[in-house]
Structure 1
Amino acid sequence: MRFDRRFVLAALAAALLPVQAAFAQSDPLPSWNDGVAKKSIMDFVGKVTTPGGADFVPPAERIAVFDNDGTLWCEQPEYFQGVFALDRVKAMAAQHPEWKRQQPFKAFLSGDKKALAKQGEKGLLTLVAAAHSGMTTDEFAKSVADWLATARHPRFNRPYNELIYQPMVELLGYLRANGFKTFIVSGGGVEFMRVWAEKAYGIPPEQVVGSSGVTQFRLDAAGKPTLLKTSKVQFVDDGPGKPAGINMMIGRRPILAFGNSDGDLQMLQWIMAGGGARFAGIVHHTDAEREYAYDRPSKIGQLDKAWDEAKAKGWTVVDMKQDWKTVFPNKP
């Protein structure tokens, strides 16, 4: 039987179409636009995971750390944990009639903004401490879960834990598929994040590093062991506290880190000071239409010194408006 060369090539092309389509759909970062940021991420992962390559990193050393507020989920117009704390104080007020006579509770509960402003940062911290102490760790976790089930963001009218960044969720999954272990390293409260982080990001509680308060072991009235949350601060995982927290809780210097603000600068500096291949990324909020646009003058998530250092040292800056096809996950 004589084979027509053109027929054979056409048949092969037809057979390869499903394969080509599969490859076209296998983009591990589908919510990222093709560009410098996406390429730098994929090039780095390719380098450190290629056996025999000059930059190959064994799986045990593939540690990636991510800030949370403004890096993995939205942080505007107020830090979400702060909103939780104030909502929690309102919910607890009925159990504390003395608050009607005590500042800063009196000013806050009555809506007296001038009086509350006079209390300054100390007053705000008092309110936050009240919402995070005087209960067991199990009771606190339930209060966070209950709040997330009912609270809605003032602009997007969605539960706060739905305002996670879809491109970053994909990045976390892509890294794990390539042998990375992913951690959250955030200034937020560790027990606040551990309630929902695994479902939102696939990051288990033991891989969440954050600010923490002192807990005390005790036996309740029935003799059941519990941990009581106190108002005493144990560790603040922000700024220079971030590399210290990584060293204390993880024990390895990561090879990849993502942040979005000056609060992440020391973490990025420390990670990039290590040997071998390294990656530092910054999420730059540039999309006022789909999310928010802010950087140097912002009171929340200020990006000033870290931005300058990123540009000077060639770190990857992700432009939210240009680099992301979508911001939040689509509603079911």
Structure 2
Amino acid sequence: MGMLLILIAISAMAQEAILPSWNEGPSRRAIVSFVQDVTKEGGEHFVPVSERIAVFDNDGTLWSEQPLYFEVMYSLDQVKVMAPRHPEWKTRQPFNLEMLQWVADGSGRRFAGLVHHTDAAREWAYDRDSKIGRLDKALDVARRRDWVVVDMKDEWKRIYSFDAPR
């Protein structure tokens, strides 16, 4: 019996070490399941290391967006360079939603996840009617296509490494 309790404790500690800043929830489970699925050698959906590609949307996922977008100056410079070749940008916002669609539409096992900024206390909350960022089209497409939508407030224990866990 003692050995069983030790094995259960070790298993629980190992699970806690995976995405330790996340709360248990559907998005965390989907990410962990996906990674286990594509990294299990001999598994049906195994992807060799040399063929693995991870695409992250920096906007609010890897970098904060407030009080100022960290990458804004670089991005504006790049848009100025690219804009003459893309007149459609005058009427259609480029990049973010299209990037997720590109990831989701390829062949093989895919994971499309959208971080929904819902935690105004620890970061910034924005949604459809926000003055600092919008997720209207992306949220609609994500729900329609069954992408994982991460609720930052409910699913992340901490947002920044210096935050105390919730």
Give the alignment's TM-score, normalised by structure 1: 0.42
The 5 Å alignment of 1:1-332 reads: 13-27=1-15, 28-82=18-72, 189=74, 233-235=80-82, 263-330=95-162
Amino acid across the alignment from 2:22:
W
Which structure 2 segments of 5+ residues have no match? 84-93
Amino acid across the alignment from 1:292:
W
Deviation, 1:20, is 3.5
Deviation, 1:278, is 0.6
SS of the residue aligned with 2:138? helix
Give distance in 2, aligned partners of 1:298 and 1:78. Answer: 15
Amino acid across the alignment from 2:61:
T
Give distance in 2, aligned partners of 1:47 and 1:75. Answer: 32
Match of 2:87 in 1: none
Match of 1:140 in 2: none
Give the alignment's TM-score, normalised by structure 2: 0.79
Give distance in 1, aligned partners of 2:77 and 2:45. Answer: 36
Alignment length (residue pairs): 153
Give distance in 2, aligned partners of 1:81 and 1:274. Answer: 28
Give distance in 2, aligned partners of 1:74 and 1:63. Answer: 23
Amino acid across the alignment from 1:287:
D
Give distance in 1, aligned partners of 2:46 and 2:76. Answer: 33
Give distance in 1, aligned partners of 2:123 and 2:42. Answer: 42
Give distance in 1, aligned partners of 2:59 and 2:103. Answer: 19
Deviation, 1:18, is 4.3
Cα 1:325–1:275 shift into 2, 3 Å: same
Give distance in 2, aligned partners of 1:75 and 1:63. Answer: 24
Give distance in 2, aligned partners of 1:67 and 1:298. Answer: 19
Give distance in 2, aligned partners of 1:81 and 1:211. Answer: 9
Which structure 1 segments of 5+ residues have no match? 1-12, 83-127, 129-188, 190-209, 214-231, 237-261
Match of 2:90 in 1: none
Give the conservation status (yes or no) of the 8 Å contact 1:78–1:300: no
Q: Which has the higher contact order (CA 8 A, sep 6+)?
A: 2
Give distance in 1, aligned partners of 2:130 and 2:67. Answer: 10
Give distance in 2, aligned partners of 1:303 and 1:69. Answer: 11
SS of the residue aligned with 1:80? coil
Amino acid across the alignment from 1:26:
A
Deviation, 1:51, is 2.1
Give distance in 2, aligned partners of 1:279 and 1:65. Answer: 10
Give distance in 2, aligned partners of 1:212 and 1:58. Answer: 36
Give distance in 1, aligned partners of 2:62 and 2:35. Answer: 19
Cα 1:73–1:81 shift into 2, 3 Å: closer
Give the conservation status (yes or no) of the 8 Å contact 2:63–2:70: no
Match of 1:115 in 2: none
Amino acid across the alignment from 2:58:
N
Give the conservation status (yes or no) of the 8 Å contact 1:211–1:235: no
Larger radius of gyration: 1
Task: Summarize deviations over 1:186-223 as a string: whole Å, max 9, x none.
Answer: xxx3xxxxxxxxxxxxxxxxxxxx7765xxxxxxxxxx
SS of the residue aligned with 2:61? coil
Deviation, 1:293, is 1.2
Deviation, 1:66, is 0.7
